[in-house]
Amino acid sequence: MEKHGLCPTETPAGNKASFRETSLSGQDSQVPSSEVLEAIENVIQGVLQSLAQRKAPVLTVANRTDWRNIEFKDSVGLQMIPGCTAKQIRSDCPQSARRFALMLKILSMIYKMVQSNTYATKRDIYYSDTLLFGSQSVVDQIINDISCMLKIPRRSLHVLSTTKGFVAGNLSYTEEDGTKVNCTCSATAVTVPSNVQGIKSVEIMCVYKYGSVSMSFEAHHLTVPSVKWLGLLPSDLERLNICKDALIPFTKQDENKLASIQKRPYIACQPLWKKELDIMAASKLKAEIQVLTSVSSDYLSRVYLPNKLQFGGWL
């Protein structure tokens, strides 16, 4: 049995161009929406034709993990070769039927976004139906497969990567490689460094605001005491009646982390934080802000954040 739910049928992927052109700067060229829609329509047409002929529909995806399908060019780097081997995702194979269905589901979502000229992050897509997809990694892999199958860059599919967040204001820090970043002088918000391994939920804010035990000797250089908790609050989940199926159950590690946070000395001087942590501890459920897409696709930008900023819904 192959990994990722692929049936063990290996076929040549044909002699089409390996992928769309990319600019010298490394940025994907934007494929016209009409071409994206046509590519998706061709896939669906193939599925319908198979059904009309009473055959099991099959999606063919290039084998992205086989080094035999890769070549190196000085001007480009590693790229997939034309006529590379491929894996078939069959609708009649127990190991791949679910993946086949999920690919059609996400293709449908992409088609609607391209039609309406709207965008979503991979995280948004996962949170649109967490029970169906099961995990973020499943969504990520399928989106990559779809991009490879259609030979269209992900950006042209109107699917964006999830950023690590942005920061602006009276803050400066030094990155792991020694790069000094001054958020005060920057004309735009600065991307939060991705090297925050070991930091989780509420924990990120606590470390930004109060620092960590391991770096306590340098807290006066690292902490930002004026940081506010803007969202998403556990009480918001109750107030907005977010479906529990869209939330993520606590792991044992989550429970231990929350218990640790509740015992920290600064929680005593933050009664509103304590109340929110108590709600989280009672529910044993967590969520990221993207869960608000389960209310409506634009609820976060159209309703939630404007109201928070206007009426002071932060802690």
Residues annotated catalytic, as ranges: 127
Two tokens at 315? 């802690």
Contact between residue 123 and residue 49 where contact means Cβ atoms under 8 Å apart: no
